[in-house]
Amino acid sequence: MKKYVLASFLALTVGIVQAQFEGKIKFKKHKTTQTIDYTYYVKGDMVRIDEFGREGKLKGIMLINSAKDDVVALSPERKLYMDATNSREPAKVNPLVTKTSKKETINGYSCTEWMVVSDKEGVLITYKVIDDAKFSFFEPMLRTLNRKDKLSKYWLEIPGIENKFTMVGIEKYADGKQKVKLEVVELSEEKVDDSLFKIPAGYVKFEK
């Protein structure tokens, strides 16, 4: 009986691990005067972020290992890499978080709208959060990056987001005018090669 229970537990555990997202995600970040394209490659605790400039030219790469709390930045143009781990104390915020009843299907995923408001900072953020809980990479990645931008900072204030992911994030000013919009334009589950998370041959470390 004990062996049966243990086998069932192990099978369930393996199933949970296998269900976690692995693949590629393409974003567009719309700001007041520009649009930036990003591609995320996700595999376990590792995330690679490619940032593209004008005419689709690869501008920069970030290699994130959330298990080690480690970030490496790469410059494809200059063939350089550097430690970009951010050790500053995370900003403390205390927003009002509301899960609304609004539903929307985006890229085949059922999403629920969440509202995050901070009167102190004059911020109103809307997230369209995937209901499926298999995106365990996202929250640790944001904590490792430790960014100052409000879409990242306020996401980490939402309760129960450990396995969640947002397809759209919109930051507005207090008057309701849009400031920043981050949206997923493509999300595909696929096998990702380990080589994408390694520093390419020929890159030289940049010393500050």
Domains of the chain, start order: 21-187 (2.50.20.10)
Helices (H), the chain: 2-19, 138-145, 150-155
More confident residue, 81 or 13: 81
Query: CB under 8 Å to 198, separation ≥6 — which residues?
Result: 63
User: What pLDDT, on the 0 to 100 scale, is given for residue 54?
Assistant: 80
- Give bridge partners of residue 65 from the DSSP assignment: 46, 70
pLDDT of amino acid 21: 96
Query: Does residue 12 surpass a pLDDT of 60?
Result: no
pLDDT bin (cut points 50, 70, 90) of residue 19 is: confident
Provide Rg for the chain, Cα atoms.
19
DSSP 93: -
Q: Are 73 and 205 contacting, i.e. CB atoms less than 8 angstroms apart? A: no
